[in-house]
Chains A and B, each alone.
Chain A
Amino acid sequence: MYEKRFDGRAFDELRPMKAKVGIVKNAVGSAMFQIGKTIALAAVYGPRELHPRHLQDISSGTLRCFYNMMAFSGSGERVKPGPSRRSREIGLVTEKAILPVLDLTEFPRTTVDVFIELLQTDAGTRCAGICAASMALADAGFKMKDLVAAVSCGLVGGKIVVDLNYEEEAQEDAVDIPIAIIPRTGEITLLQADGIVTREQLKEAISLAKRKCLEIYEIQKRALKERYEKEVK
């Protein structure tokens, strides 16, 4: 049984977080989100022309997310950056996690591109990426119903824990469950799992994630406001 977490946190405690908006000056919108040692950077470009043409949607704009881990971001060997099976998948789930809140009907046939770079990774990268991307899109001034907050929950040594770090995630029996929610309504926009959990455990993990996402949401909101309060004063 997992009695005490490797880094001494409580089972329902997040790692320290930091968020900043508007850090890439040449992008339309940008944001940084850090949770523990994981740092994600998101930059938004567009709306712009979408090619090839068959991808264009006449009724609404298209959202494209590109996830990329930088070469020396991990703690182990060098990661090969650039498109891969894994980065395409994560880009896709990021799109699906954000699309329910994003309204691009003002920009038919166009694309909005979000580039997510992971400068440093210590598990929970797709969640950090989603948090950063939703802040960057809000910063770019797109119409959104809400922000999206995401956190990974999981099962380590039979215990439900929140925000796994790499050490925990690499355990033999660990299950990683990344969850993204729309904080205002509590709707789930991302739910993945890579191991075996019981129905009760999954329910517990989801309710824990929902609670913890509200903490992340507060940090996202504060970061966005800080950026603009400077301008208004």
Chain B
Amino acid sequence: MGKLFVKNKQIVVPGELIAKGMDYIPVGDAYRDGEDLIASRVSLIDINGRVIKLIPLRGTYIPKKGDIVIGRINEVGYYNWLVDIGYAYDANLSVRDATSDFIERGTELSRYYDLDEYIVTRIISVTKFKAIDLTMKGPGLKKLVGGIIINVIPQRIPRIVGKKGSMINLIKELTNCQIIVGQNGRIWIRGKNAEDEMLAIKAIRLVEEKAHTSGLTDEIKNFLMEAKKGKNV
């Protein structure tokens, strides 16, 4: 049996030895050098039997096929829009994927999506060299009107959403806000008033900060209840 050099919930840095021998199976960013298993990113260790999961703690957003993201229209062309989705290069939204309307040649495309408008969109393909195609066809994909957009660390998104959306639904329910979470770390929030929106932002920031602690759903619930009580008095 191989030897393990890390404990559960330990932080590893690039170049750190995780285990010796071939018995352990890494999930995430690690590489093998002979018998040694070595971490290649700052991550949190989660040991489950022989499987060692490396949860990344930081990093930029890497576009993936199927991701729902929030983008900003950066350019309006003749047949397409270029959309900033938080990656180094803009993604392409072509007329074909934007609407099922019949669009005549020479139509003013800014009638559909204008410069600097925000949209919820889905990535339909990412090539090896990161040319990204988007679509607006699908449930929930739309232009965003009003509200606030905040940026969070993309690696914390799964925690903000929670298991089957438990965390985000809790925040939505208790703050009466509409919230849309993009996989690229952008979150859109619209409430009936600014106070609700601020409360939702505070709760999301709290989840982001404490993403790797346990019992977080209850903590957020208490936090929101307390905040609401304070307001009613």
Q: Which residues of A contact B (CB under 8 A)?
A: 28-29, 46-49, 58, 101, 103, 106-111, 138-147, 182-184, 221, 224-225, 228-229, 231-233
In the assembled complex, 22 residue pairs joining A and B whose CB atoms fall closer than 8 Å, in A order, are A47-B88, A107-B88, A108-B129, A108-B130, A109-B88, A109-B129, A138-B41, A140-B58, A140-B59, A141-B58, A144-B14, A144-B40, A145-B38, A145-B40, A147-B14, A183-B15, A184-B15, A221-B13, A231-B57, A231-B210, A231-B212, A232-B9
- B213 interface residue per 8 A CB criterion: yes
Q: Are A138 and B88 in contact (CB under 8 A)?
A: no
Q: Are A145 and B13 in contact (CB under 8 A)?
A: no
Kindly provide the distance from the CB of B177 to the nearest chain A CB, expressed in whole angstroms. 26
Give A62 to B10 CA distance when docked, in angstroms: 31
Complex interface residues of chain B between 29 and 49 (CB less than 8 A to chain A): 29, 31, 38, 40-42, 44
Beta-carbon nearest neighbor of B130 in chain A:
A108
Q: Are A49 and B62 in contact (CB under 8 A)?
A: no
Give A129 to B13 CA distance when docked, in angstroms: 19
Give A144 to B15 CA distance when docked, in angstroms: 7
Give A107 to B59 CA distance when docked, in angstroms: 12
Give A18 to B129 CA distance when docked, in angstroms: 40
With a cutoff of 8 Å between Cβ atoms, the chain A residues found around residue B152 in the complex are none
- B99 interface residue per 8 A CB criterion: no
Lowest 8 CB-CB distances: which A-B pairs, in order? A146-B15, A141-B59, A141-B58, A144-B14, A110-B88, A47-B88, A224-B13, A232-B212
Q: Are A106 and B89 in contact (CB under 8 A)?
A: no
- Identify whether the interface residues of B are mostly helix, strand, loop, or mixed: loop
- B166 interface residue per 8 A CB criterion: no
Q: Are B11 and A139 in contact (CB under 8 A)?
A: no
Give A49 to B82 CA distance when docked, in angstroms: 14
Kindly provide the distance from the CB of B103 to the nearest chain A CB, expressed in whole angstroms. 29
Give A139 to B87 CA distance when docked, in angstroms: 19
Q: Are A147 and B15 in contact (CB under 8 A)?
A: yes
Q: How many contacting A-B pairs (Cβ < 8 A)?
A: 94
Q: Are A28 and B213 in contact (CB under 8 A)?
A: no
Q: Are A110 and B14 in contact (CB under 8 A)?
A: no
Kindly provide the distance from the CB of A45 to the nearest chain B CB, expressed in whole angstroms. 11
- Identify whether the interface residues of A are mostly helix, strand, loop, or mixed: mixed
Give A103 to B39 CA distance when docked, in angstroms: 13
With a cutoff of 8 Å between Cβ atoms, the chain A residues found around residue B29 in the complex are 143
Which size bracket describes the interface of B in this complex?
20 to 34
Given contacts A48-B88, A103-B40, A109-B89, whether A138 and B57 have CB atoms under 8 Å apart is no
Give A28 to B13 CA distance when docked, in angstroms: 17
With a cutoff of 8 Å between Cβ atoms, the chain A residues found around residue B16 in the complex are 221
Q: Are B59 and A58 in contact (CB under 8 A)?
A: no
Given contacts A138-B14, A225-B11, whether A143 and B88 have CB atoms under 8 Å apart is no
Kindly provide the distance from the CB of B200 to the nearest chain A CB, expressed in whole angstroms. 22
Beta-carbon nearest neighbor of A50 in chain B:
B88
Q: Are A145 and B88 in contact (CB under 8 A)?
A: no
Give A147 to B39 CA distance when docked, in angstroms: 11
Q: Are A138 and B13 in contact (CB under 8 A)?
A: yes
Q: Are B42 and A138 in contact (CB under 8 A)?
A: yes
Give A228 to B42 CA distance when docked, in angstroms: 9
With a cutoff of 8 Å between Cβ atoms, the chain B residues found around residue A28 in the complex are 60
Q: Are A143 and B40 in contact (CB under 8 A)?
A: yes
With a cutoff of 8 Å between Cβ atoms, the chain B residues found around residue A48 in the complex are 88
Q: Are B59 and A142 in contact (CB under 8 A)?
A: yes
Given A145-B31, A231-B57, A231-B212, 13 extra CB contacts under 8 A: A29-B58, A46-B60, A109-B129, A110-B88, A138-B14, A224-B11, A224-B13, A225-B11, A225-B13, A231-B209, A231-B210, A232-B44, A232-B212
Give A25 to B129 CA distance when docked, in angstroms: 30
Kindly provide the distance from the CB of B208 to the nearest chain A CB, expressed in whole angstroms. 10
Given contacts A147-B13, A232-B44, whether A49 and B88 have CB atoms under 8 Å apart is yes
Give A218 to B62 CA distance when docked, in angstroms: 31
Give A45 to B104 CA distance when docked, in angstroms: 42
